[in-house]
Amino acid sequence: MGESGFNSSYLAFVTFTIVLVATPGSTTAVVVRNTLIGGRRAGYLTALGAALANTSIAIACGLGLSILVAVWPGALAAIKVAGAVFLAWLGVTCLYRATRYPDGGIQLSLNAGDASAPSHAGAYLGDGLAINLLSPVIISYYLSVVPTFIPPLASRFYYSGLAATHVSLALACHSMWATGLDAMRRWFVPPWTRRTLQAATGFALLALAARILVGGSPPVEAHAQEPRVPVLAELFTSEGCNSCPPADGWLEVLLTEQPIDGVLVIPMSQHVTYWDHQGWKDPFGSPQFTSRQQQYGGRFNLDSIYTPQLVVDGAREMIGSDKRAIERALRDAAKARKPELAIDVRSAGDQVSVSASGPGLQVEKDAELWFAITEHRLVVDVKRGENANRTLRHSGVVRHLQKAGNGQAVARVSVRIPHDWRRDNLHVVGFVQSTKDRRILSVASRDLPN
């Protein structure tokens, strides 16, 4: 997603937030009540208290989400669905109150006999804090609504920016209610106005629920008509490395969401072996992958190899969790279109026959043709080492990597698929790699037939 994509996401959030905070709700009711009792200053203090509560909830939810997503990348989808259901229930409840009670179930103390004005400013500030700090609606908003407006390649500070925008707009809106209440007093006092308020809140909550379920980042199918250039993303990782899980999670996002316009990311997660001495032997580790990373280390003149390392099309390397650098490298790699590589996969029992053909084989003399079998959605409970007692998820894990020849018009290899590999999660990756500078000259991927 480019700069325009980020701008459009933020503009959509601002527009949606303005509509939301402009709709009278429970916080507005408290601001109005306190303004009627104690004057504008009381209304401003109540609005400030609500803003402080919003800020506290945003910080807590942001930290919680970042930790949860780092451990379980798919957690956000489950949270969004749960939040949508909850907000829909609250919306239906508001609509029920609007139709059941003459005042919509919102009681305002408007007379001195009904409620006495607090004697100090802290009471009004506390009212604003209490109404939002304990509000399940606000908590659900920050957990399940705000994340839907975050572009897939956004930085870790994007959520903070959206939260600050919501806090600022809500504070401004509630302050405007306190400022303009004198002009609206006659309008707001009759019960039917509060009934309308309750109904409007119900519809707003239902709209939030719908936004969560159908909103967020466009699905991959939305880009189906756009030409995508295949780019090979090789992640060198290990379950024995405590800095690798974020990179593993980011590779899963690249695979499942394909968030970069014009780029088809083909992942290969290769687990190295030099972390095994730390107390945990990586079940997917192989000396072959360690050797392959060492070859890249010589290609990039590195003093030593490291994890997590991501190599894009054999031409650029970077830290596997550096989202910005990875995005730039993928975009740059996709600027040059590769000759087509056609992969044919045939299955007979536990034997799979893979062949490649097409102009991608003829790009460079003596270039190497490789086939890989990768598996997605792997989950491991790590018992020891730096990631002890953590559940790790992996995608694009290389289960088999084999060189198939040099510059052949048609090349075919046969691979046996063990029973503990889930066939519905297996893919075949074929790529042609230069022997001169290790660049990926052509690459393609196919699902493994059942």
Segment 137-152, tens digit of pLDDT: 788 788 877 887 777 6
Regarding whether 305 and 175 lie in a shared domain, the answer is no
Regarding whether 247 and 170 lie in a shared domain, the answer is no
Q: Give the pLDDT confidence of 279-288 residue by residue, as tens digits.
A: 899 999 999 9
Q: Please report which confidence band the pLDDT of residue 201 belongs to, taking 50, 70 and 90 as the band edges.
A: confident
Q: What is the mean pLDDT of residues 171-186?
A: 75
Regarding whether 239 and 112 lie in a shared domain, the answer is no
Regarding whether 238 and 192 lie in a shared domain, the answer is no
Local structure of 283: helix, strand or coil: coil
Q: List, in sequence order, every beta strand (DSSP E) within 279-327.
A: 309-312, 316-319
- pLDDT over 60 (residue 309): yes
- pLDDT over 60 (residue 4): no
Where residue 292 sits, what CATH number does that domain have? 2.60.40.2060
Domain boundary among 158, 185, 217: 217
Regarding whether 351 and 244 lie in a shared domain, the answer is yes
Q: What is the mean pLDDT of residues 65-72?
A: 73
Domain boundary among 217, 232, 247: 217
Give residue 1's pLDDT.
47
Regarding whether 288 and 242 lie in a shared domain, the answer is yes
Mean pLDDT, the chain, integer:
84
Give residue 219's pLDDT.
40
Give residue 122's pLDDT.
86
Residues with Cβ within 8 Å of residue 310, at least 6 apart in sequence: 233, 234, 235, 236, 247, 251, 317, 318, 319, 320, 322, 326, 329
- pLDDT over 90 (residue 223): no
- pLDDT over 50 (residue 218): no
Domain boundary among 175, 202, 217: 217
- pLDDT over 50 (residue 448): yes
| Pair of tokens at residue 200 | 């409007």
One-letter amino acid of 431 = F
Tally of CB atoms within 10 A around 222 = 9
Regarding whether 189 and 148 lie in a shared domain, the answer is yes
Domain tally, the chain = 2
Q: Please report which confidence band the pLDDT of residue 8 belongs to, taking 50, 70 and 90 as the band edges.
A: low
CA distance 174 to 167: 11
The predicted model scores a pTM of 0.59
Regarding whether 244 and 115 lie in a shared domain, the answer is no
Q: Do 75 and 197 touch, CB atoms closer than 8 A?
A: no
Give residue 195's pLDDT.
82
Regarding whether 339 and 272 lie in a shared domain, the answer is yes
Local structure of 386: helix, strand or coil: coil
Range of the domain at 125: 3-217
